[in-house]
Structure formats: structure tokens, C-alpha cells
Amino acid sequence: MLKIARNLYEYRELVAELTRKDITVRYKQAYLGIAWAVLRPLALMLIFTLVKSFVGIDSGTIPYPILTFAALMPWVFFQDATAEGIESVVKNSALVRKIYFPREIFPLTAVTTKLVEFGISAFILAGLMVWYQMMPTAHILWVPVIILYTLLVSLTIALMGAAINVSYRDVGAALPILLSLLMYASPVIYPLQLVRDKLLVQQAAGEWSDLLYTIYTLNPLAGIIDSFQNVVLRGLPPDFSSMLPGMVLTAILLPLSYRYFKWEEAYFADVI
């Protein structure tokens, strides 16, 4: 663990420079530039709002558009960061074959780059909050912690995925599809409160209800999205009970994923 931190510190300039490169390259020749970054969550928000008007989803006291936008922010960050991270090593094969530096820099850079887009979305969210006349409370200071945790979840999948993707490009193609399916298993379109009500309060699945809820919250995004909405919109602290299963899972998988990545790293240049 100490070695990882030392490595990261030693190569901090490289991470910064590669991040800068990724961002500039992405928007260099686009007329709307970085505005594209926020288009997707905004468009999804509008679609979901439209769908909601037919289906009827109880969003509690919070207006549905802003609630779903606040869910889409961490979700889109997670999905893009993970997909980008998985592709990162293969994308940089020219460098992998020629120059050595710790290879985890590639997924790490890919993931951190997405923070920029997240930051821009934050302005939109602020705008929406002004529109709906909502005041943030001191709990909003939790946001960096929640985002750091999201970043670690992304890395868990990205490190392993990037290493496998070097040998089998199937992973790069399949994982984004799986991730977009995962969105429906996360409280993006509907608030977590609905799941909680169904399973914990109404015990809809009988004696299996509590177990099912734990399985549902094993998905770290369930806790992340709910907590993000809590601290930004509801003025509440994060709900740790819904975050715990996902956190435990991440704490187990992240070291394994990292170890696997480092073990495969030696063969990247030969196989890529």
C-alpha cells in the first residue's frame, strides 16, 4: 500500500500531464467543446422525467428532475470512468511497448479525467438547485468523500478489466454493455427509498426481504447515489447502512484487482 502511494507521488506530474492531454484531445476540435460533457446527463434527465410522467415514480419531497440529475451525476461518472479505464492500457499501446512507468497510471489517469466532466455537471446541478430554490446544508462537504469512494469503485473494475482487455479485447466491448444494464439495478431512475420501502418496510419478498436488500446494496452505486442525493438535496448525512455492503465488497476486491493488474503488467508489452 505504501509502495503504491510512493509510486503515485513520484509519478504525479505524469498523471497530471496525461490527464491534461486526455481532456484537451477530447474537446480540441469540437465546436461546443466541453459542453458535450454535460449533454448526456441532461438528455437522460429529460427522458427520465418524460417517462416518469407516464409511469409515476414517487420522488418524495424533491422534484423528480433534480433528483434524477443528482443520481445521474455519480452514475455517469462511474460508468464513463470505468469504461475509459478498461480501454486505457490498450489505447496507449504505443507507450506500453516503448517506455516503462507503472502501468496503473493509465487506468488511474483515465478515471481521474472524468472528474472534470463531473465538475461541469456540478454547475448544472447548482443551476437546477437555484431554479428549485433549494439551499445546500453543511452536509454537502461529504461530496468529495463520496466521489473518492466512487473513484475507487471504478478503479476496482477498471484495473482488472484493463489487464484482461490487453489479452482479450472482448472485455472492452462487453463491460460497457454490462455497466449500462447495471444502471437499472441502481437507484438512478427511481430513488433508493422506493426499494427500501418495498423490502424493509413492506417486507414484499417475505422472509427474503432483508437478504435481498443487502444483495441490492452490494452494488456500491446504490449507496453512492442515495448518499449523494442525501448530502446535496435532502440536507442529510450519508446513509451508511445502505453503503456498508458495497464498501465491504470494494475493500475486498480492490486489492485483488490491483494485485492481478500488477501481476499481468509484466506481460503487457509482449501481448498487447
Partner 1 sequence: MPIIQLNHVSKDYRLGTLTSLKDSVRNTVRRLRGQPVKKRAPFRALDDMDFSIEQGEVVGIIGNNGAGKSTLLKLLAKVTTPTAGRVAVNGKVAPLIEVGAGLVPDLTGRENVFLNATILGITRADIAARFDEIVAFSELESFIDTPIKRYSSGMKIRLAFAIATSVEAEILIIDEVLAVGDLAFQRKCFERMEDLIKGRGNTVLIVSHNIRQIERMCSRVLLLERGQVVADGLPLEVADLFYRRSNEKISAEHKKSLEGKVHKYSSGEIELVSVDLLDEQGEATDSIPSGGTLRVRVRFQVNKPLQKPEIVVGTHTTDFFYLSASSTALIEDRPDLDVGVHEVEYIVPSFPLVAGTYCVRFAVFDQHQRKVFTGETLKIFTVLPTSLEILDAPMRRLYLPTRWRINGVAHNSPMPVPAQAATT
Nearest-angstrom CA–CA distance, 122 and 66: 12
28 binds partner 1 (CB under 8 A): yes
Q: Does 13 bind partner 1 (CB under 8 A)?
A: yes
Q: Is 95 in the site for partner 1 (CB under 8 A)?
A: yes
* Dist. CA 183–CA 41, nearest whole Å: 13
Amino acid at 122: A
Residue number with CB closer to partner 1 (123 or 263): 263
> How far apart are the C-alpha atoms of 107 and 105, rounded to whole Å?
6
Q: How far apart are CA 24 and CA 17, in angstroms?
A: 11
- With binding defined as CB under 8 A, does residue 100 bind partner 1? yes
Candidate ranges 30-38, 63-71, 162-170, 181-189; the one touching partner 1 (CB under 8 A): 162-170
**Rounded to whole angstroms, how far apart are CA atoms 34 and 26?**
8
Tell me, what amino acid is at 73? M
For the CB of residue 117, give the shortest distance to partner 1 in the complex, in Å.
18
Which residues between 204 and 263 bind partner 1 (CB under 8 A)? Answer: none
Q: What is the dihedral of CA 36, 39, 40, 46, to 10 degrees?
A: -170
* Residue of the chain from 168, 208, 240, 263 that contacts partner 1 (CB under 8 A): 168
Q: Is 36 in the site for partner 1 (CB under 8 A)?
A: no
- Which residues make up the interface to partner 1 (CB under 8 A)? 13-14, 17-18, 20-21, 24-25, 28-29, 94-101, 167-168, 170, 266-267, 269-271
